[in-house]
Structure formats: C-alpha cells, structure tokens
Chain A
Amino acid sequence: MNILRAALLLLLCSAPLAQAAAPARVVGLGGPVTEIIYALGAGERLVGADASSIYPAEAHRLPKVGYYRSFSIEGVASLKPDLVLASEDSGPLHALEQLRRLGSLVVILPSAPTLEALDQRIMGVAKALDIEPRGAALVQKLHADLRAVRPSPAKPRVLLISSHTGRLQGAGDDTAAAAMLKLMDARNVLAGQRGYKPLSAEAAVALRPEVIVTGRMSVDASGGLDAFLAQPGLAATPAARSRRVVVMDDLLLLGFGPRLPEALRLLDAGFSTQAVAR
C-alpha cells in the first residue's frame, strides 16, 4: 500500500518536474547517445555516462556507470540525474523502468543504424534537453553534409572486422558498419550474414576482400597494424597484401551518429585511392 502511495506521489511530483526548467543533470547510456549530447553543445549538463561513451575526449572524464547493456541502476541513481537518455539496447531488463520509478525522467532513443533513426535520435535528445532548435539545425547540417559526400565510382569488396579479444568477428547485415557501406553503395563481402559472427580464417581468405575496415580498438588489441594484418586469415587477403585498411575511431564505425558524413568520407578515401595504411 505504501509503495502504491509512493508511486502515486512520484507521479504527482514528476509531472510538474517535467515541465520545470530544462534538465540540468543528465546521464547518457550508449556511446552514440552521449556523442549526440555533446554534438548539441549540452555536454556540460552530463553528470555521468556508460563505458561505451568514448567520444568526444571529454566523455572520458565522466563517472562511468558500467557498460550500457548492464549498467548499475543504483550507480545511475547516485548521480541524481533529472534526465536519463538511454539507447534502446540499454539493460538489464526492467532497469530503465526502475530508474523511472526512482524519479528520473527516462527517454529511450532508437538504436537502428538508419538515417531515419539517426534523425529521431538527434531530435529525441534535443527535445528532452529542451534545445529543439539546435537539434533541427544539427539534422539539417547533417543532411547537407551527407548530400555533399559524393561516393567515388570505385566499388571494392569490403570486409568489416571487429576483433577486440583476438578472435576475428565479421560484420554482416543489420550492423552500423554495413549500413554505412549501403549508403556508399559499396559491397560488403559478408552481406547475407546477420550481425557480428566469428569469422574463420579460411572464409576470410575465400571472400577475397580488397579493403578491410576496422576500429582503432581492434588494431590496438592485436598490437598495431602490422600485427593486425598478420593475423591468419587476413594476411592472405588482397586487402592485407596491398595494405588497404581503413582504421576508424570505434564509435565512428559503430555509432551511426552525428559524425556520419565524416565516416563516409573516410570510407570513400579508403575505397577510391590505392591508399596504403601506415
């Protein structure tokens, strides 16, 4: 009975809260969401984020509440946020619901790697932060920048690799990286596979990729670019032999965020030239 009463009281209290001043203490769950908060110039309102919030550099200084898929409920609550902006993949199950019951406003943002979802992410964050004009401006600028990216006619065979633990994982459809290739009209050699799956060395060779795209963390995890390319399976590919590798900031590759035009330009540079990665 007491719990019910508390819940009712919370509801009554939170209604006026939501209409009060713009949220001043914000927690971002999910790297792409945190990046958007900074892109909208509202980074100073962040009081915490999750471990995947690695861009921009300032985000490293925030208290970290664990990985967004298994964040600590009490850890978030202890930062006393009035607003939690969470990627829809945040977990554990019911955790966002519990945060709501604790009195924070929780706004869940779509995580799909599509342009529509990206617009919704930006506008959702802007609306929650009460800075909608800035959101609209960012969306407009983003689309203008995207129109300015003219993919070169070169359409190499691309292999998307993530390997944080020493095992090669290849990205198939339904991943942010593959979605970017689609925007470029490039060919993902793993098209048809769903999500990230362990990639066998033999399959990697048989797919004959001409360009390899990977995240900075994957290269660092294998101990530098040379070691990365020397991995069995990659070493024998045309891409490794001609050293055509595009190495990106991981959130740029996986986030499908406001830096999408930059990511596409990087990819395009890697596709169009016979550029050699150093």
Chain B
Amino acid sequence: MQQVAVSPAAAVRPRFRAGPGAVFVALCILLALMALGSAGSGALDIPRTQLLPVLLSMPGSDEALMWRNILIEVRLPRIALGLVAGAGLALAGAVMQALFRNPLAEPGLMGISLGGATGAVAAIVLGVGSMLGVASAAFAGSLAATALVYRLGTRRPGVANLLLAGVAINALCASIVGFFTFQASDVQLRNLTFWNMGSLAGANWTMLAWLAPLVAVLSALLLRDWRAMNALLLGEREAQHLGFDLKRLRRRLVVLTALLVGPLVAVTGSIGFVGLVVPHLIRLPLGADHRWLLPNCLAGGAIALTLADWFARLAVIPAELPIGIVTSLVGGPFLLWMLSRRKD
C-alpha cells in the first residue's frame, strides 16, 4: 500500500480551466432550472405555465386549487428537502475527503450514514417518539461511527485501510439495525422500512424549518475552514507547520460532519454516493482549492439529489422508486471507475 498524498500542485491543478465564480453561477442557474423542471412534473400533470400563477394567487377553479395543494404539500417540500440533503451530503463528502486525505472518503462508504441510521432506528424502537430525539440519536450514532472510522482508518496511510474500516463499521451497524428490526413491532417497522433505500417522501415544512437552518449554519462553519483543508492537502505535518492546530481542527471537522450527516440520515434514510460523486465532478473543472470546491459542492449536491428524486418520482408512476436506488445506480459504477483508474 502506498501513500496517496498527491503532490499539491497536481491536486490543485484543474483538468480544464474555468473561473470558479463562473462555475458557481452556472451551477446555481442549472439548479434553478432543475428545481423548476422537477416542480413541473410528477404523477399529476400541472402545466408549467401555471406553476407560478397558482402559487402566487389564490386559484379560482377546483383543479387549480388541487395543483396548488400538490405543489405546496408534496412537491415543494420534497424538492426543498432534496436541495438541503444533497447540499449537505456532498459537502460532508468533500470535507471528509480533505480530513482523511483520501479521495474515496464518503459518508455512506465510511459507515457514517449507517451509524446515524443505527442511532435513529435504536431511538424509534426504544420508543423515542419526537423528531428531535430521533435526530439527536442519529447524531450520536454518526459521531460514534466517524470517531471510530477515524481511529481505525488513519492508523496506517492508504486508501484501502480507510475503506476496510468503513466496511467493518457498516457491517457492525447493519447488524445492530438488523437486531432492532428483529425486535421492532409492526408499527415501528413502518417507520423503519424507508431506511433501507432512502426516500424524500417524508418531507414536510415542519421538518424543513429546523433542518434547513441546521444545514445552513453547519455549512457556513465548515466553509470557514477552507484554508485548513487546503493545508491538509499538503500533509498533516505540513499543515501543522503552517500553524493549524491539527488536533482541534480534526475534532471540529469530525463533530460538524457528524452533526450534518446524522440528522439528514434521520429524515431521509441512507442515500449513498452523493458525497463521493459530486466533489469529484466539481474538481474536474475547478481543481482541489477548497475555497471554491466547498460552495460548488453545495450547489452540485443539491442538483444531484434534485435530479435523482425527479427520476424517482417519474420512473414508475403512480408509484415511486426509493431514491437510494437511483443514487446507487449512478454512484456504484462511478466508484468502480474510480477504483479502476487508481495506480497503486
């Protein structure tokens, strides 16, 4: 196993040049178009020209009232949850790749998503009813998984080591989830089923009212550390020489990503690969400068999940696919492709 510390110059050099600001603006425009497209299609046909009118004014006809209610009650909360969750997961992926100095770090592969799911499932089966309780338990679970994967996965350098730690933690969490599922009553099982493949179907405004600010605040805090993450590209010792308090930085990044991923998993279930694929796609035009990488990951992740949910809602009308199936369909091959390109 070799050290994968890429030389910083190579790491920061973009594949093809594009102004970071231009990319961000382009992504935001794309995101707006995606959200609009997704809002305008679904099991129920709402004419796109009617989208804004029915939202802005109280509709006169029964049909328009129905459209308005579908938009406000079902589609918009789902799209908003997709934006928030996608942005959060992609950012968490980028931060973890910097923290572990490892291109394959990702909440799903590292066991952090499933760690959060384990906490949430335990809370549900042990009878914690409130959303806050479940989200807190999810945070505790993802924090424990992150701390554990960090302990195990950074003992020795190398990508494989970290992935093995992730495999071990995923296996451990899966068995705990399995045990709780085995114990669960029928009613509890109903709340557990969507964990398996993830879904945005549970979206509602109440949930978004606390989730969106949480993700926004955590993102802002993580974005502030872009210099430290750039220094980490050079290596841990180099970062220390540059004056970063590595111990505190590590602890901060671990807690913040766990706070980000845990509650997200608690409401959407496990949605894999967003944190892996998006940062890599963003690096292609922008290189690895975290100052631009992180905000663009927020936009890119939001686009990715919006697209995935759009597809999930349209593929099998009037039923729908679990969104985790869609992200894995894209992410699985992507991971294989990345592994095949590695020169060890």
Check A89 for interface membership: any CB of B closer than 8 A: yes
Q: Which of A69-77, A149-157, A213-221, A260-268 contacts B (4 or more CB under 8 A)?
A: A69-77
* Interface of chain B residues 178 through 215 with chain A (CB within 8 A): 182, 185-187, 190-191, 193-194, 199, 201-202, 204
Min distance, Cβ B324 to any Cβ of chain A, angstroms: 13
**Interface size of A in residues (CB-CB distance below 8 Å):** 41
In Å, the complex CA distance between A9 and B58 comes to 10
Please state if B318 and A78 are interface contacts (CB–CB under 8 Å). Answer: yes
Q: Which of B62-70, B90-98, B220-228, B331-339 contacts A (4 or more CB under 8 A)?
A: B62-70
Q: Which of A59-67, A136-144, A180-188 contacts B (4 or more CB under 8 A)?
A: A59-67
* Interface of chain A residues 43 through 73 with chain B (CB within 8 A): 48, 51, 63-67, 69-73
Please state if B320 and A102 are interface contacts (CB–CB under 8 Å). Answer: no
Min distance, Cβ A122 to any Cβ of chain B, angstroms: 22
Please state if B74 and A70 are interface contacts (CB–CB under 8 Å). Answer: no
Please state if B69 and A92 are interface contacts (CB–CB under 8 Å). Answer: no
List of A residues within 8 angstroms of B193 by Cβ: 69-70, 91
Please state if A66 and B320 are interface contacts (CB–CB under 8 Å). Answer: yes
Select A74's contact among B65, B70, B72, B182, beta carbons within 8 Å. B70
Please state if B201 and A72 are interface contacts (CB–CB under 8 Å). Answer: yes
List of B residues within 8 angstroms of A19 by Cβ: none
Check B317 for interface membership: any CB of A closer than 8 A: yes
In Å, the complex CA distance between A88 and B185 comes to 14
List of A residues within 8 angstroms of B66 by Cβ: 77, 80, 102-103
Select A65's contact among B65, B70, B319, beta carbons within 8 Å. B319
List of A residues within 8 angstroms of B68 by Cβ: 6
Specify the chain A residue showing the minimal Cβ separation from B204: A94
List of A residues within 8 angstroms of B186 by Cβ: 89, 174, 195
List of B residues within 8 angstroms of A74 by Cβ: 42-44, 70, 74-75, 313, 318, 320
List of A residues within 8 angstroms of B187 by Cβ: 89
Known: A77-B43, A78-B44, A93-B190. 8 other contacts (CB 8 A): A6-B58, A6-B69, A74-B42, A92-B199, A92-B201, A103-B66, A195-B185, A198-B182
Chain B interface helix/strand/loop/mixed: helix
In Å, the complex CA distance between A79 and B45 comes to 11
Chain B 14-46 interface mask (CB, 8 Å, partner A; 1/0) = 000000000000000000000000000011110
Check A42 for interface membership: any CB of B closer than 8 A: no
Please state if A95 and B73 are interface contacts (CB–CB under 8 Å). Answer: no
In Å, the complex CA distance between A9 and B66 comes to 12
In Å, the complex CA distance between A5 and B68 comes to 12
* Interface of chain B residues 105 through 119 with chain A (CB within 8 A): none
Select B319's contact among A10, A75, A77, A197, beta carbons within 8 Å. A75
In Å, the complex CA distance between A6 and B317 comes to 27
**Interface size of B in residues (CB-CB distance below 8 Å):** 31
* Interface of chain B residues 52 through 87 with chain A (CB within 8 A): 58, 65-66, 68-70, 72-75
Please state if B69 and A197 are interface contacts (CB–CB under 8 Å). Answer: no
Select B201's contact among A70, A103, A198, beta carbons within 8 Å. A70
What residues of chain B have their CB less than 8 Å away from a CB belonging to chain A? Answer: 42-45, 58, 65-66, 68-70, 72-75, 182, 185-187, 190-191, 193-194, 199, 201-202, 204, 313, 317-320
In Å, the complex CA distance between A222 and B58 comes to 56
List of A residues within 8 angstroms of B319 by Cβ: 51, 64-67, 71-72, 75
Please state if A98 and B190 are interface contacts (CB–CB under 8 Å). Answer: no
Check A241 for interface membership: any CB of B closer than 8 A: no
List of B residues within 8 angstroms of A64 by Cβ: 318-319
Select B73's contact among A51, A66, A102, A198, beta carbons within 8 Å. A102
Chain A 89-110 interface mask (CB, 8 Å, partner B; 1/0) = 1011111001001110000000
Select B69's contact among A70, A76, A103, A195, beta carbons within 8 Å. A103
Please state if A92 and B194 are interface contacts (CB–CB under 8 Å). Answer: yes
Please state if A75 and B318 are interface contacts (CB–CB under 8 Å). Answer: yes
In Å, the complex CA distance between A94 and B204 comes to 9
Check A273 for interface membership: any CB of B closer than 8 A: no
Min distance, Cβ B58 to any Cβ of chain A, angstroms: 7
In Å, the complex CA distance between A80 and B43 comes to 11
Specify the chain A residue showing the minimal Cβ separation from B55: A2
Give 10 closest A-B pairs by Cβ, nearest first.
A75-B318, A66-B319, A78-B43, A78-B44, A74-B43, A72-B320, A75-B43, A91-B190, A65-B318, A102-B69
List of B residues within 8 angstroms of A102 by Cβ: 66, 69-70, 73-74
Please state if B74 and A73 are interface contacts (CB–CB under 8 Å). Answer: yes
In Å, the complex CA distance between A91 and B188 comes to 11
* Interface of chain A residues 197 through 214 with chain B (CB within 8 A): 197-198
List of A residues within 8 angstroms of B320 by Cβ: 66, 72, 74-75
Min distance, Cβ B338 to any Cβ of chain A, angstroms: 32
13 contacts between A and B (CB under 8 A): A48-B318, A64-B318, A65-B318, A65-B319, A69-B190, A73-B74, A73-B201, A74-B42, A77-B70, A78-B317, A91-B193, A92-B201, A194-B185
List of A residues within 8 angstroms of B202 by Cβ: 92-94
Check A15 for interface membership: any CB of B closer than 8 A: no
* Interface of chain A residues 6 through 48 with chain B (CB within 8 A): 6, 9-10, 13, 48
List of B residues within 8 angstroms of A10 by Cβ: 65, 69
